[in-house]
A and B are shown apart, each in its own frame.
Chain A
């Protein structure tokens, strides 16, 4: 059964600046010295994490992610609230384990694991394993300053995961290193998860978050802005990225329980969206390879210089399979006026494998939604693909092929 392994309650962290550092020291002695500036980077954060859960933490730079992780690992002390941990915790914070550049890989292993409270004999027993997993070869006995950043990361990951912790914290580290090692580390993390390790992952990598995590927390301005299913949280985060002052973010729960996020300034809005087949009937299930059209009706409310419609088709995990926009196709509309209504028809053949897919739509002023975002809508359409007419195949993509077989002997 899963139980609570981590309880964060009312957690807050303030960084204080003093006009002179002497005031800080005076305050320890109980003297009321003036504080020049107080900055709460985290405020009143509360959540619980269960054993075996994989929690992703997302947020913009400066949202307080790293501070939260440092408070959880205990290198930083909270200014308010508390973090309670049940079990052993291991962390890879900001690429590295505080390695000493002059020590060899081997010495650093002893040093870092020693600091983490492991006994000499334990470390010695796992040394071969670390050397093997990090695949450093002869570099293992060379000082760290000659390592590449990838090697450094490999060693850090191997050290942090040398003993299966109850909670593993990974801060961005997985984005470094080659694809091969990334796969290897993903496998190790997944194996830990199966044995009950809780994972806390900070990443900007949508793919990593969607494939590893079953829950996500969005930090915004030092507070929890969203907590829930990774896909919904990431969509909300995406909407937040275009956070222009006039933007608003709305979420709506769909009939299947997924959460639709829409945001934007609403200068131009999406009025209606439908998926129709060749006969013009509205459909939600398609045959593999069927010709269909996405119809989008938009209405202009305020004059805009440039109007671009973008769409992307995503799989069940929220990963984009295909997407483009009318800027790329050189069809952007210029100087549209209030009252204008445009119908966009996106016709394509559904060359997808069996499964459920969604369409995200965006009405923007340029190539992407970071500039002018009029309306961005995730999960604007959901459809599924069934294989009714083709030979059985596997995968998300339909790539019709011919297979030739020649008998040469016998």
Chain B
């Protein structure tokens, strides 16, 4: 079963590459600034938060020895959040967006989420390059613990893909999910210490935020990128396990939904 899937994916490897390339080309094709837009959108978000909140936040970042401390904190948080949110938002519509192809050509459908995850990862790596360049420019040292970053990305991707695919499959049949998700994402964003630090929250509230898996993922990114520490293994292992369970559910749901998917598209 899994073996068949892998074999199918292997025979579709070139397709995967050309789709990813086409996806990027497509996003930048009709614009003047082209590739820059992929960076500019998230960057402007970071700049806005840095500008609006830096005075409010700068006093409260112990352990960072830089006048750009808040911007650095913000960027590492966004490094995690952007990957998470891009995978989720694109997974939700992946089957609907490709409805036309699904109705006309018979092919292994698992290829579609894989294209989504791959392109999201590539965008994220481009953003990472930008972050590293910025850190270097402002003279902020990157430590050896940055080597943990790939691990963090795997956990983050697994978690996002699991949730995104479950929602994406259900969204084919129940379109409310596509409408609801952006709202939930807004809540999640503000319930996660990305633009603020957890210690500005009241004690009782901190405990609630800690129940949010995204808190631990973002925290891992912060440790690895900002504080040059190893991430906290315990909670992250739990989240990774949870992600695998959700991915399993997504896979099972996909097999159940697959025969009826084209009927509803």
* A residues in contact (CB < 8 Å) with B: 15, 21-22, 24-25, 28, 70, 73-77, 91, 93-94, 96-100, 102-103, 107, 110-112, 114-117, 119-120, 143
Contact = CB atoms under 8 A, between A and B. Distances in A.
A102 B107 CA distance: 21
Given A25-B174, A119-B14, A75 B105 contact: yes
B19 interface: yes
A115 B105 CA distance: 7
A174 B100 CA distance: 20
Contacts of B22: 100, 103, 107, 110-111
B195 interface: no
B102 interface: yes
B174 A115 contact: no
B26 A102 contact: yes
Given A21-B174, A25-B173, A102-B26, A110 B18 contact: yes
A103 B26 contact: yes
Contacts of A103: 22, 26
Contacts of B263: 15, 76
Contacts of B173: 21, 24-25
B47 interface: no
B55 interface: no
Given A96-B104, A117-B107, 7 more contacts: A25-B170, A76-B263, A97-B105, A98-B105, A110-B18, A114-B15, A114-B19
B114 interface: no
A403 B14 CA distance: 64
Interface residues of B, number: 33
B104 A117 contact: no
Contact of A77 (B18, B30, B103, B258): B258
A336 B211 CA distance: 88
B106 A75 contact: yes
B257 A70 contact: no
A76 B262 contact: yes
Nearest to B260: A24
Q: Binding site of B, secondary structure by majority: helix, strand, loop or mixed?
A: helix
B107 A28 contact: no
B115 to A, nearest CB: 11
A73 B170 CA distance: 25
Given A25-B174, A98-B102, A114 B14 contact: yes
Contacts of A115: 15, 101, 105, 107, 111
B234 interface: no
Interface in B1-59: 11-12, 14-15, 17-19, 22, 25-26, 29-30
B167 to A, nearest CB: 12
B154 interface: no
A107 B259 CA distance: 29
A107 B15 CA distance: 11
Contact of B107 (A94, A110, A116): A116
A384 B158 CA distance: 76
A272 B257 CA distance: 60
Contacts of B170: 25
Contacts of A114: 12, 14-15, 18-19
Contact of B262 (A25, A70, A111, A143): A70
Given A25-B174, A103-B26, A117-B11, A94 B104 contact: yes
A111 B19 contact: yes
A119 B107 CA distance: 14
Given A75-B105, A93-B104, A98-B101, A117 B26 contact: no
Nearest to A14: B263
A260 to B, nearest CB: 40
B256 interface: yes
Nearest to B103: A75
B14 A28 contact: no
B253 to A, nearest CB: 7
